[in-house]
Every structure is written in C-alpha cells, then in structure tokens.
Structure 1
Amino acid sequence: MIRLAITIFCSLVVNITMAQELPKILSQKTNYLPDFSYAGYHLGESKLPENEGKIINAVDFGVKANDNLDDSKALLKALQAANAVDGNVILQLPAGRIILSDILYIERSNFVLRGTGSNEKGTEIYCPRPMMYLKDPESLAELREYLTSFDKRQCETENNIDLPFSQYAWSGGFIWTQIPNERVKSYLDKYEPEPNVLAKVSSGKMGEFIINVSQLNNLKVGDIVELQLFNKDGENGEIIKDLYQGAKVKPGSHHWKFPKLPIVRQQVEIAKIYGSKITLKTPLTISIKPSYQAQLVEWKHLNEVGIEHLRFTFPDIPRVAHHVEPGNNAIFLTRLFNSWVKNVKITNADSGILAEEVSNVTVQDIITDGPHLSHYTVTLGGVHNVLVKNLKIHNKAIHPLSFNTFSTKNVYQNCEIFEDALLDQHSGANHQNLFDNITVHITADKNNSFYLFGGGGADYWKPSHGPFSTFWNLNVQVSNPDQAKPVLLYGMKDGAFARIIGVHGNTKFEIKYDVDPYIEFLNTEIEKIPSLYEYQLKKRLE
C-alpha cells in the first residue's frame, strides 16, 4: 500500500508539472504584450553566417602578434586593403596579442573582422591606453560641443569631484562602425539636417504593419528606411499622452524642447506598396496620428558587418568617477542593419559594446570580466530590434544591462549577471523592450530586499520607460536567502505598464514596481516557455 501511494503521488506530481498552464497574458486581449520576435539578424529568421569571402590576412601587412610592439599602423594598412576588395571580405587577425592604440573604423558593408577565438589561445586585442589620448574623432564634434555648451559635469561633493563629462562616457570604441560624415545622434538643434523625405505618414496602428502614406518620393519595396514621429505641439503634445498610454508619470522637458528631433523612430524594411498603403516588415510600436507629422526618411547604413572570435583587454586603470571615463571602450556600433557581433570576451573595459542607430543586429556569446568597474557592458541606446543573447557579466558595472534613450523592441535573452545585478531602463522614450530568461545573482540587504529594477537617466528624459517593457522568466538567485520571509525586489518608481511574468528563484519574492505593472506567475518558473522571444519567433515562423 505504501509503495502504491508513493507511485500515485509521483504520478500526480508529474501530471501537475505537465499540466502547468501558460501565462494568461499570452491569450488576453485586454493586457497588451508586444511581439518581440523581430529582434536580431534578419528579423531573427536567419542564423548568423559563417561568412565566405576573400580573406585578407593582417600578418601580410605587418601585424605581428606577441612581439610587444604596436600594431596599429599595420592594422590600418590591412583594413585599407580589405576595403579595396569588391564583394564579401574577411579581415583575418592572427592568434596572440595584437597591440592597438588607434581606432579601426569599419566603413563598408559585407565586411567581417575575424579573430581565431576569444579564449587564451585565440586573438587578443590589447589597448594599452584609452581613447582620451587619441585625436578627437570628427563624428563626436557635436557631442563635445553639447557637453561644453551645457557644462555637463559630474559633481560629487562628498568625493571632492567636479569634473566635465567625457565624450567617451557613452560613445566611441576602438572598433567603430560608421558611415563617414553621417550624424549618428542628435544633440544640438542647429545641426539637425534636412532629411530626404520619402513619404508622409498619416496613420497606422500599434502592433500592426500597414501605414497610410502620401507624397511618395522614389520609395520602393526592399528599401530600409527610418520611420520618424514628432512632437511639434509642446508640453501637452498628443504624442506624449499616447506614448505613455495615460500612465500616471511625469514626462521630462526633452519630450517637447526639441521639436525637430523625432521622439519615436524605427528602422524598417518596406514589404509592399499599394497605392496609399505601405506594409512594413516589422510592427509599429505606437499608433500614428496626423498630429505626429510622421514621415519615412532615407537612412544610410551598413549591411552584413560582422565582428567575431576575439577578445579585448584593457589595463586595470584607477577609476575616477561616473561619466568621466577615459575611453577604454571596445566596440561602438553605429549605422548598422542585419549585422552581428559574436564570440567576444572583454576585460577591464569602461564600456564593452555600445550601440547607437542600429537595427536588426545580433550580439551573442559575449563575456565581460575583470576587476575594473565598468560603466556599461553591452548597452542599447537609440536602437531598434537588437538581440543580445548569451551575455555573461562577471565584472561589476554601473549599468550591467541597460535599455537607453530611444531604444525600442530590443531583447536581452539568456543573459546572466554575477556581480551587483541591475536591470536598468535609462529613460528617453524607450519602450517595449524585453528582459528574457535572465539570471541574476544577488545578496539581499538587511531589510531582506534588493534594488533590482533600475531607472537611470536624467530627469529631463524621465520617465524611466514607456509602456509594455517586459520581464519574462526572471531567475533570481539569492546568496543568503531567509526562507522564512520573501525577498522584496524593488527600484522602479516611474515605469509605465510593465509586464512582469515568471519571477522565480531559490526563495520567495515580492515585487514593488511603479507604475501599474501587470504581474503574473510570481514565484513560478515558466517551464513550458522559458524564452518569450523564442516562443514568439517559433509561432511567427510557423
């Protein structure tokens, strides 16, 4: 009888596990859940390529690993030779330590910078001194003027610090993708260019693909363009109310002080054109109304650029203060579409990988480590549909995972934070981003609580995020759990209508998150759907 009872009990446990219901938000129409499956290389529909093309070996141009001599000039010669190749080209770096003390600008499509691996036997790019000792990059001239014009300073009276911001606090990298002479980020109205307008957009519905247009100008199927929405109506502009869906938040002044600056933007591919209707390949993040004066404009960018199989090492220099970082930044991605970074390890960086004005890019299999306190690891600012997958963060960072200004429909998937975990949403009209199947390691404070949900950024760009930012299957591992009472996870004070589904771990949790979050499956792992991104992608492709 005892054996029979045990068998019946075990059978019940198995059946209960197998019968776990799915989160209700997947089927509800009243609680909107964005489709995040369009993030990544080629909308998530293609694997990252094992790129074929003409191989340019850096050693043929004087790059010699492990000789303790600077390789910058030889690397620039090898890059110049690669740029002269028509079609797909691979700049192949040798195994061993290469010393780099200048910026390598990748300025062409169909280009791969490839090492021999990110492990100890692979390719190491060693940067002995930060970018502050280099000639000022021309593309950051506007940023430098902005920082000085507004006297942007880091002031910490308790530490006797009153220092100007560095131009490299959130920009720049020793490997830098760009379109020459193309502005990447808006800082000053007087430099706002006249865009090449390809169509005026009057309407479209959030989550759908069709927009109504007029005044078409040489627009064709297959074009990659930027959709821009504006607030030209001041502090009470209709788009501000619609962007935050009526949430009880207080938008900062940058939402109306720069009427020439698009407040919402998406880089999109044109799928169909029929009369006054255009079908996009990706869904809208916000419904479009005539008052937004929306438009499709030309967007200059690079395609099929890859950076892979290498590691970056920086000296562990003393850290002075936040925002005054000297520029030990590994990779700066700008103006990219359908591109990737994979299998890269970064040690002692101020910022590992920074991104601005890129779309449908995959960053995967990244490790950051070292004793140096970083500003960012892999951060997403002003980007759309970017997938960061399998990022392991072993170092301490101010913003370990961060969705920054203007970031939309981006995904951190299967990432893990081992030190000082923080899930940051950094203000600036960012909305509809996904933390997917993330694992964090934390130590609860004396009140049995932990500041996990960060809301960084300046007051003039508050609130911390717009509607429908999502946390899915968040695994929280507490080093000192008190099983007698739940750990309180807190930090967010002004994030609108977040979706928090499946927070679980090695103890019980409570959540404090403002404003008006949707919370489901608290203290329950989502076993059937560990990744929302993968679930939505599979469903879409089927």
Structure 2
Amino acid sequence: MKKKTWLMTLLSAALAHAFATAQIHSELWGKNGEKWTPQSRLPDFSYVGYHFGEDPIPVVEAASNVRDFGAVGDGEHDDTSAFIRAIAETEAGAIEIPPGRYLISDIIWIEKPDIVLRGSGPDQTVLVISKTLEDVRPNMGKTTSGRPTSNYSWSGGFIWVKGSYGSGVRTRITSETRRGDRSLTVDKTDDIRVGDRIWIEIQDDTGKTLLNYLYSGDPGDTDKVTKPVRTGFISRVAAIEGKAITLERPIRFDLRQSWSPTLRPFAPTVSEVGIENLAFEFPNQPYEGHFTELGHNAIAFGTVSDCWVRNVRISNCDSGIFVAGVFCTLDEIVIDSRRSEFEGTSGHHGVSLGRDCLLENFDFRTHLIHDITVSYLDMGNVIKNGRGTNLSFDHHKKAPYENLFCNLDVGLGTDMWRCGGGASLGKHCAARGTFWCIRSDMDQTWPRANFGPDSMNLVGVQTGESTQIDPDGRWFEAIPPEELQPADLHAAQLERRLGR
C-alpha cells in the first residue's frame, strides 16, 4: 500500500510538472514557423523597430555636456536655454546630462540627425516641467465632435524630435501585386539601386475600395472619412532585373492599379536620435478628465526614422510619448503618477505609435484613458513584453492595420478593448490586428462587433471560452497564455528571418 501511495505521489508530481511546462503551439505559426507563409492571415512582424530589428540600439559616444552650456540642474534655475544651445552646437553624438533636477520651461526641439540626450539614469537625471505646452505655444483646437480642446491633448512633447521623409522622383508601379509577394514591376529603374530603402505608396479611389480592403471588407461606418486615404510601406530593394524589382520583405497589402501605386526613395532627414536614461516629472495636479489636457506631455517624434527612447520614466503626465515615425524603438519605459484620478484614470495617452515601431519591456504603473494607441493608418507596430495596472489596447479608428500586441500582462483587464476615435471613421481595428499571449486578471472574450473585423487574430488570450477557428472568419485559439509557445511571436519571427 505504501509502495502504491509513493508511486501515485511520484506520478502526480510528474504530471503536475508536465502540465506546468506544457507547450502548445498555434495553428497559425507552429513550433518554429513551419505553418506560416507570408500570405497567411498572420502578418510578418519581423522588420519592426530600430534598423529593422537587426541591430541593437547603439551606445553613442559622448560629444558634449549640458553643464558646459550653462545648465545648473538644481531644480530652480531655468536650464532650457542650455539644452537648446547644446543641441545647436553639437554636430553629432551624445549630449550628457549629469545627475540633477533640470527645470525646463519651453519645447526642446531636435530637428537634425545623430543627436542623443543621455542622462545618468531616471533616478538621477530628472527634467522638471511645471508648464504645459499650451502655456508656452498655444494651440487650441477641437475634437471631431466639435468640442473645444487643446491639440496637445493628442500630440506634442517637451522634447520634440521633428523631421521629414524627404522627396524624390515618384516611379509608377505597373504590376498588380498581392499581399505577401515580394516582386513588382515599374516603368523605370534608373534611380533605384539594390540596398536602397524605398517608400511604396497607394491612394484610395472615390469608392473607398482601399479603405474597405484594409478592413477586409467590414469597415463599419466610414461616412466621415471624406478624403481618400493614403498609406505606404517601406522596404529595402533586394534585386533589380530590367523593370522588375524584388523587395527584401513581403508587401503588406495588395497593389492595385486603381490605387495608383508608386514608389520613391525613402530619405528621412532626421534619424539616429535617442532619448535615454532620464526622467520627466510634471506637477502633481489632479487630473480633470478626457480632453481637459493642456500638454503635460514628455516626448514627441514627428516624421522621423530609426530613433529611440530607452530607460525613461515619466511621472504625472497628460500623455507620455507620441510617435509619428517609422522603425523607432521604445524600450524600458515606465509611466507612473501620483495625481488624483478622474474616473479611474490619471491621463490621456500613454504611448501612441506610428508604423513599424517597437514598444517593449514597459511598465505602466498607472492607468490612462488610452494606455497604448494605434491610430489612423498606423500599421506593423509591435507592443510586447510589458505590463500595466489595467492596460487598454486603444485602436483609434481609420484603419490601424496589422499591429501585434504580444506577451503582455494587462493587469485587471476591465478596459483591454477600451478605444477612442471619432464617429463614422470606421471600426476601431482593421484587418489582422493580432493579440498573442495576453495575461489578464479576468477572462476576455472576442471584442464587440464595432471593435474590428473577423479577420483579427486572438491567440493565447486569457479566456474561459473555447477555441473557434474559421480560416475565412474569426480566429480565436483559446490556449492558456502560460502554455502558448512561442510567447514572444515577434522574437520568433525575427529569429527565423535572421537565422539566429
């Protein structure tokens, strides 16, 4: 009897260990990507972030120090002009910001490449900002419903990095190309070289067929989308033969002649800008609610490429970081607040992303109305390996397309599908938005009908429901998130592409 009891105990322990270490693979990916193709409903997210994810964020050599330009860092002396001078007089490299509390009273613009603002760590280098953006650069506007508010409710930052994507001769694409393909033909290749980064652009027709396509035929109410949408895609050129071009990465959407497809050189004027190892501190003032924000915002990237924010803490903000750029990486971002909350939230936007950007290893210790936002035609972003108190995955309408939320702990889970966006601008999420390995204190279900089309992918989301798989409809794989492998889909796709 004792022997039987011992064997049963051993067997139970073995089964418990096996259960605890069980690995379940998605039918969309498999163990190592063997079930995936570039044409499948699971997008290719392996090119996101700084340098297509192929290089780590660099440690840039120091070139100057804000103290050399008059910064004091005592929390009382206004150090704004010292920062502005340091940026103006530093040709390239890192501008060191030693330990201290630096009072900032105006926008610090960075409008050239190869500049890094580097503190000594978020517990040592603190930018203290008491004013709002509306105080220093008034910019009142209104919401889509006509409510007066500051435009800084959804844009701008006290460090504002701004550039353009350059210009160049547009080349007409003459082929009809399908999503997932890499080859296309053009009317000339005279100005295109192997290795160039090119911008492929398409524009909607009067029948909104492109907008309809981006929602896989289920856009919802789009009556207030009155101008033709225009979107683009960036890739390196892998090969040229005559008028045929082979791209390095699969094309994200169909290229139809009715959408006037063109390509041009991608030549950003601002890149390789970093903000790292510092903190932003705004006043501990009560939050008064949605659209009352006047611009206690930390960082804004506008029309830039291959920039980064690393090891930054943001306290008591209206909004944290706005990224209107491509191939940018945000790593180790902490947002916290001591403000009195309004209806359970302490601010408006946590992080808002652009295209092919990466947000990873973040910790949101407060709940904002829109913790993480993808908005008008934002696409290809990856949000992974982070946590929050009650994260909201804000899809802000007008076709945020093929974005990945991956390996996240949302916390409480009551607001996971909470979204904003004006009326009649389409459903919140467009085609193939993917939610992968999502942990939550409460079970989740497929989101409401106006959130997005059935072409979304939910895999390994905390749920009490059963798997429902329809290759032409909803894809809901009810895999326990602790058993889904790989948990980090982006890393698995990147490793497969690079052969690491």
Q: Same fold (TM over 0.5)?
A: yes
Query: Which residue pairs with 2:384 in the alignment?
Result: 413
Between the aligned partners of 1:520 and 1:401, the Cα distance in structure 2 is 23
> What letter corresponds to residue 391 of structure 2 in structure 1?
A
* 1:223 aligned residue (196, 199, 204): 196
Question: Are 1:70 and 2:87 counterparts?
Answer: no
The alpha-carbon distance between structure 1 residues 406 and 309, as it changes in their structure 2 partners (threshold 3 A), is: same
Query: Which residue pairs with 2:462 in the alignment?
Result: 504
Query: Which residue pairs with 1:401 in the alignment?
Result: 372
- Is contact 1:201–1:296 with CA below 8 Å preserved after alignment? yes
Post-superposition shift, 1:153?
Answer: 3.2
Question: Are 1:275 and 2:206 counterparts?
Answer: no
> What letter corresponds to residue 375 of structure 1 in structure 2?
H
Between the aligned partners of 2:481 and 2:125, the Cα distance in structure 1 is 42
Post-superposition shift, 1:216?
Answer: 4.3
Between the aligned partners of 1:267 and 1:115, the Cα distance in structure 2 is 32
- Is contact 2:306–2:326 with CA below 8 Å preserved after alignment? yes
* 1:531 aligned residue (479, 488, 491): 488
Between the aligned partners of 2:304 and 2:457, the Cα distance in structure 1 is 29
The alpha-carbon distance between structure 1 residues 279 and 251, as it changes in their structure 2 partners (threshold 3 A), is: farther
Between the aligned partners of 2:66 and 2:194, the Cα distance in structure 1 is 39
- Is contact 2:224–2:423 with CA below 8 Å preserved after alignment? no
* Range with greater deviation from structure 2 (422-431 or 277-286): 277-286
**Aligned pairs for 1:97-496 within 5 A:** 97-119=101-123, 122-136=124-138, 147=141, 153-154=146-147, 164-179=148-163, 182=164, 196-202=168-174, 203-216=176-189, 218-232=191-205, 234=206, 236-246=207-217, 248-253=218-223, 255=225, 257-259=226-228, 261-262=229-230, 264-299=231-266, 300-356=268-324, 358-372=325-339, 373-380=346-353, 383-418=354-389, 420-442=390-412, 450-478=414-442, 490-491=447-448, 493-496=450-453
Cα deviation 1:316-362 (Å, max 9, x = unaligned): 23434423411111000122222211000000111110011x11111
* Aligned-partner SS, 2:370: strand
> What letter corresponds to residue 322 of structure 1 in structure 2?
H
Cα deviation 1:246-279 (Å, max 9, x = unaligned): 3x44251354x223x51x2223333333322223
Report how many aligned residue pairs link the two structures. 480
Cα deviation 1:132-163 (Å, max 9, x = unaligned): 11135xxx8xxx7xx47x98633xxxxxxxxx
Between the aligned partners of 1:208 and 1:98, the Cα distance in structure 2 is 51
* Aligned-partner SS, 1:6: helix
Between the aligned partners of 1:59 and 1:430, the Cα distance in structure 2 is 43
Q: Percent identity?
A: 27
Post-superposition shift, 1:469?
Answer: 0.5
- Is contact 1:330–1:353 with CA below 8 Å preserved after alignment? yes
* CA RMSD, 1 decimal: 2.8
Cα deviation 1:211-270 (Å, max 9, x = unaligned): 3222446333343343211112x2x34323322223x44251354x223x51x2223333
Between the aligned partners of 1:125 and 1:393, the Cα distance in structure 2 is 19
- Is contact 2:438–2:481 with CA below 8 Å preserved after alignment? no
Between the aligned partners of 2:363 and 2:467, the Cα distance in structure 1 is 25
Post-superposition shift, 1:428?
Answer: 1.5
> What letter corresponds to residue 223 of structure 2 in structure 1?
S
The alpha-carbon distance between structure 1 residues 404 and 511, as it changes in their structure 2 partners (threshold 3 A), is: farther
> What letter corresponds to residue 431 of structure 2 in structure 1?
P
Between the aligned partners of 2:248 and 2:338, the Cα distance in structure 1 is 43
Post-superposition shift, 1:308?
Answer: 0.4
Cα deviation 1:402-453 (Å, max 9, x = unaligned): 21111111011111111x432221111211000000101117xxxxxx4421
Post-superposition shift, 1:19?
Answer: 6.0
Query: Which residue pairs with 1:32 in the alignment?
Result: 41
- Is contact 2:198–2:236 with CA below 8 Å preserved after alignment? yes
Between the aligned partners of 2:239 and 2:104, the Cα distance in structure 1 is 46
Between the aligned partners of 1:395 and 1:151, the Cα distance in structure 2 is 27
* Range with greater deviation from structure 2 (213-222 or 532-541): 213-222
> What letter corresponds to residue 62 of structure 1 in structure 2?
G
Query: Which residue pairs with 1:58 in the alignment?
Result: 66
Cα deviation 1:20-44 (Å, max 9, x = unaligned): 3411121267961111111111111
Between the aligned partners of 1:28 and 1:71, the Cα distance in structure 2 is 53
Between the aligned partners of 1:12 and 1:124, the Cα distance in structure 2 is 51
What residue ranges of structure 2 are gaps of 5+ in the alignment? 30-34, 340-345
Cα deviation 1:143-202 (Å, max 9, x = unaligned): x7xx47x98633xxxxxxxxx1212111111111112xx5x9xxxxxxxx9x64431123
Post-superposition shift, 1:471?
Answer: 0.6
TM-score, normalised to structure 2, is 0.88
* Aligned-partner SS, 1:467: coil
The alpha-carbon distance between structure 1 residues 517 and 48, as it changes in their structure 2 partners (threshold 3 A), is: same
Post-superposition shift, 1:3?
Answer: 1.2
The alpha-carbon distance between structure 1 residues 19 and 525, as it changes in their structure 2 partners (threshold 3 A), is: closer
What residue ranges of structure 1 are gaps of 5+ in the alignment? 155-163, 185-192, 444-449, 479-485
Query: Which residue pairs with 2:7 in the alignment?
Result: 4
Post-superposition shift, 1:511?
Answer: 10
- Is contact 1:469–1:499 with CA below 8 Å preserved after alignment? yes
Between the aligned partners of 2:311 and 2:398, the Cα distance in structure 1 is 30
- Structure 1 stretches of 4+ with a deviation exceeding 6 A read none
The alpha-carbon distance between structure 1 residues 28 and 251, as it changes in their structure 2 partners (threshold 3 A), is: farther
- Is contact 2:397–2:420 with CA below 8 Å preserved after alignment? yes
* Aligned-partner SS, 1:406: strand
The alpha-carbon distance between structure 1 residues 416 and 196, as it changes in their structure 2 partners (threshold 3 A), is: same
Post-superposition shift, 1:521?
Answer: 2.9
- Is contact 1:198–1:217 with CA below 8 Å preserved after alignment? no
* Range with greater deviation from structure 2 (236-245 or 460-469): 236-245
- Is contact 1:118–1:309 with CA below 8 Å preserved after alignment? yes
Post-superposition shift, 1:363?
Answer: 0.3
* Aligned-partner SS, 1:253: coil
Post-superposition shift, 1:81?
Answer: 1.2
**Aligned pairs for 1:33-48 within 5 A:** 33-48=42-57
Query: Which residue pairs with 1:160 in the alignment?
Result: none
The alpha-carbon distance between structure 1 residues 522 and 315, as it changes in their structure 2 partners (threshold 3 A), is: same
* Aligned-partner SS, 2:78: coil
TM-score, normalised to structure 1, is 0.82
The alpha-carbon distance between structure 1 residues 92 and 353, as it changes in their structure 2 partners (threshold 3 A), is: same
Between the aligned partners of 1:487 and 1:104, the Cα distance in structure 2 is 42
> What letter corresponds to residue 529 of structure 1 in structure 2?
P
Between the aligned partners of 1:249 and 1:223, the Cα distance in structure 2 is 34
